[in-house]
Structure 1
Amino acid sequence: MNYRHGFHAGNFADVLKHVVLTRILLHLATKPAPYRVIDTHAGSGRYDLSSEEALRTHEWKDGVARIEQSPLSPAAEELLAPYRAALAGIRALYGPGAYPGSPWFCRHVMRPDDRLIAAELHPPTYQKLAEAIGRDRRCKALDIDGWTALRANVPPRERRGLVLIDPPFEQKDEFTTLSAQFIAAHRKWPTGIYALWYPIKDRRAAEGLVDDITDAGISRLLRLEIEVDRPEAAGGLGATGLLVANPPWRLAAEAEILLPALTERLAQGSRPRYLCEAIRPDG
């Protein structure tokens, strides 16, 4: 599966990933000590939903566009507020077709002493990332492989923060690489928060990822998934997940509010589903 992000920006998988990302960062900010975010596969930082790539797939129409149609429940809207604020901020600067990538969401939530390392190997995409970050001294864009960035930057100097791992899934063995790289990083920094994004086209691959990680003895995991029941004839992605290691203690309760509301709004078929599962929460 090739997940070049320009084709998929703002789709339902992005909505889930970025909503959860903002919630994690807000929880990190409840303590005064600074934190660091390591974004291993950062992409270009911001996207244009009127671009040729986005218009070729129109996936954002069944993602962020649905979220903007009307408010969700009051409880869900309270948790969505930081996501909506970041979206409004980028559109105020770049127009109604702009959509933030994960580095932009991080910059929107980060405090003056917090830091972001954003890695991107693809040269043209890296140039866009560097432009999106600009002169923000809190942030550093690295034109290196994401796995190299992960190995080189954990544990961070701050000893607290988040690693966001969002590979493009261009290689057949990406799930195996994802689990191996995460397990190695966790051994170096077992107290950090990690968020592992994955597509679900092959349910066995997703289950294998979780099995590999739990077999390694890693505990305190929160598994979040949305399946929109996309008709097969449409092709493309129909389900996505995030596996969060060392989740903030309130994140599971927030997910129990957010995921039903998001799943209902983003559903494309008659049998959507969501999963909010704590795995070894007291490990």
Structure 2
Amino acid sequence: MLSYRHSFHAGNHADVLKHCVWLYCLRYLQRKETGLRIIDTHSGAGLYSLTAKRHENREFCAGIGKIYNRDDLPAPLQSYVETVRAFNQTNLCFYPGSPLLTTRLLRPQDELWLHELHGRDFQLLCDNVATAKRTRVIQGDGFNGLKQLLPPPTRRALVLMDPSYEIKSDYQKVSDALCQAHRRLASGCYLLWYPVVERARINRLEQQLRDSGIGRIQIYELGVRADAEHSGMSASGMVTINAPYTLMEDMQDALPWLATQLGDKGPGHYRAETLSE
């Protein structure tokens, strides 16, 4: 089973897709003046040095590294890459996770809640967001923390769920957590990242979401090679609920470009589909 630790895979192809969609939704929801409660259920350390020894496998070279200096980026990717560049000088040395990407865009009326269970990553996260205003860091299970934070007083929330999927039960947990969150705040915008290691698990997750009765579910997937058992993560995806209505059209432009640029030994593959109207 995939051992997906943020610190070992920062900036890879999965992060490119995840953070592109995350920033797109955040910026869109901030067009409205009303405050936004932003919840990250599995935050990681928040900022990663790409020159550290743990990055000897250099997964970022096949992800953000391939598009970092490009000037022909599709619109959703342009905004994302510009935000990553803000954490670097000339060369790509640091990769910001979702907590740091978000703190850079927080408005006075917004609030950010970060959850991290792992002790070492929790301490690093606290250090990395120590100067961020309107940001709270909680050491604990983000699934449980999510229930306590919904609904917010403004009735506006953006939620990112990004567990490690180290335990097989995580696939059921994410489905249950999404359904519980939606019952508490049906108007919230929810984003769920998933890895494609065994396609059958993703098929079951999609069916559970279809059967949930939740509307406005979309799926965006980026694959760098064909699915195959026992070959690691071939693709990753983002499930969205109540995403901006413009996201589908813009990602239909961005995903083919990404699949071509990030494909392993040739063009990759992608999906942009509606699971539930």
Same topology, TM > 0.5: yes
1:149 maps onto 2:150 in alignment: no
Residue 206 of structure 2 aligns with which residue? 210
Whole-angstrom CA distance in 2 between matches of 1:69 and 1:236: 28
CA contact (8 A) 1:222 1:244 kept: yes
Residue 67 of structure 1 aligns with which residue? 67
Within the candidate set 179, 194, 203, 1:183 is matched to 179
How many residues align? The count is 276
Q: Which moved more, 1:131-140 or 1:196-205?
A: 131-140
Residue 33 of structure 1 aligns with which residue? 34
TM-score normalized by the length of structure 1: 0.92
Q: Which moved more, 1:61-70 or 1:228-237?
A: 228-237
CA contact (8 A) 1:223 1:241 kept: yes
Whole-angstrom CA distance in 1 between matches of 2:169 and 2:228: 24
Residue 85 of structure 1 aligns with which residue? 82
Q: Which moved more, 1:189-198 or 1:225-234?
A: 225-234
Q: Deviation string for 1:147-167 (max 9, x for gaps)?
A: 111111111222112110000
Q: Deviation string for 1:222-280 (max 9, x for gaps)?
A: 10001111697994321000000011111111111111111111111335211000223
Whole-angstrom CA distance in 1 between matches of 2:247 and 2:50: 30
Residue 4 of structure 1 aligns with which residue? 5
Whole-angstrom CA distance in 1 between matches of 2:72 and 2:273: 23
More helix by share: 1
| Percentage of matched positions with identical amino acids | 33
Q: Which amino acid aligns with 1:223?
A: I
Structure 1's unaligned 5+ residue stretches are none
Residue 222 of structure 1 aligns with which residue? 218
Whole-angstrom CA distance in 1 between matches of 2:139 and 2:10: 21
Whole-angstrom CA distance in 1 between matches of 2:112 and 2:146: 13
Whole-angstrom CA distance in 2 between matches of 1:86 and 1:273: 26
Residue 192 of structure 1 aligns with which residue? 188
1:237 maps onto 2:240 in alignment: no
Question: What is the CA RMSD across the aligned residues, in angstroms?
Answer: 1.9
Structure 2's unaligned 5+ residue stretches are none
Residues 2 and 217 of structure 1, relative CA distance in 2, 3 Å threshold: same
SS of equivalent residue, structure 1 residue 254: helix
Q: Which moved more, 1:41-50 or 1:152-161?
A: 152-161
Give 1:59 deviation, angstroms.
0.8
Written as runs of structure 1 = structure 2, the 5 A alignment for 1:100-179 is 100-179=96-175
